[in-house]
Amino acid sequence: MVSAALLIFTLLLADFFDTMGTMVAIGAEADLLDDEGNPPNAERILVVDSLAAVAGGVGSVSSNTSYIESASGVGEGARTGLASVVTGVLFLLATLLAPLVAVVPYEAATPALVVVGFLMMQQVRGIAWDDLDIAIPAFLTIVLMPFTYSITAGIGAGFVTYVLIKVVRGKASEVHPLLWITAVLFVVYFAIDPIKSVLGVG
């Protein structure tokens, strides 16, 4: 029971922040964010992403969720979602060529990943690098994402570090209650594996 609860908590937290991080990054690349840096219709996006993830699980396929690699398509002008529909249809047709996939080396995807990384790094110019309260959490977020292979881990480190720095610098009153809650949840998220080890659950 404990193991199942921890697993569900981990999956929910990971999926939510993976989607939020991807949504903001892609929205910024498409120049669709509002004045406060929030994507429009965020609730609808999260609902659709959640339903797609559930549908993927029901269909026993990979999670149908948002992917940061979409930045390459957005960088080329995709905005309305039609590009995703076309891509999906082309992938469906490409299933007939599945045996040829083994011939294509993994290195063939490298140029696309370089472009995606380049497009993502353009967004860091908006960070206030002269403000330690912002810069250090932002730096850890950026660095830990590729090192941990997890958007969630990077965002979590940013949240926890931001709150910690505010507390250490005597600015705890500036931290919004939701940030406190989120930071605590991320501490639990990072502690799940040690907790499972102590409890002896797999």
Contacts of 3 (CB under 8 A, 6+ apart): 196, 201, 202
CA distances from 81 to 88, 93, 100, 148 (A): 11, 19, 28, 29
Residues 162 and 120 in one domain: no
Q: Indicate if 3 and 83 belong to the same structural domain.
A: yes
Residue with tokens 């940061």: 68
For residues 163 and 186, membership in a common domain is answered with yes
Q: Mean pLDDT throughout 70-98?
A: 81
d(CA 164, CA 183): 9
- What pLDDT, on a 0 to 100 scale, did the predictor assign at position 32? 80
Residue 11 is predicted with a pLDDT of: 65
**Cα–Cα distance measured from residue 90 to residue 3, given in angstroms and rounded to the nearest whole number:** 40
Question: Residues of the chain with pLDDT > 90: what percent?
Answer: 10
- Among the candidates 107, 126, 145, a domain finishes at 126
Q: Are residues 92 and 183 in the same domain?
A: no
Are 45 and 68 within one domain?
Answer: yes
7 and 97 part of one domain: yes
Structural domains counted in the chain: 2
The mean per-residue pLDDT over the stretch 97-107 comes to 77
Is 88 in the same domain as 33?
yes
State the residue for tokens 């609902």. Answer: 47
Residues 23 and 68 in one domain: yes
Q: Assess contact for 74 and 30: CB atoms under 8 A.
A: yes
Query: pLDDT category, 1, cuts 50, 70, 90?
Result: low
**Domain end (from 75, 93, 126):** 126
Give the residue numbers spanning the domain of 166. Answer: 127-202
Q: Are 25 and 116 in contact (CB under 8 A)?
A: no
Residue where a domain terminates, one of 126, 155, 186: 126
Which tens digits make up the pLDDT trace of 127-178?
A: 889 998 999 999 998 899 888 888 778 888 999 999 999 999 999 898 989 8
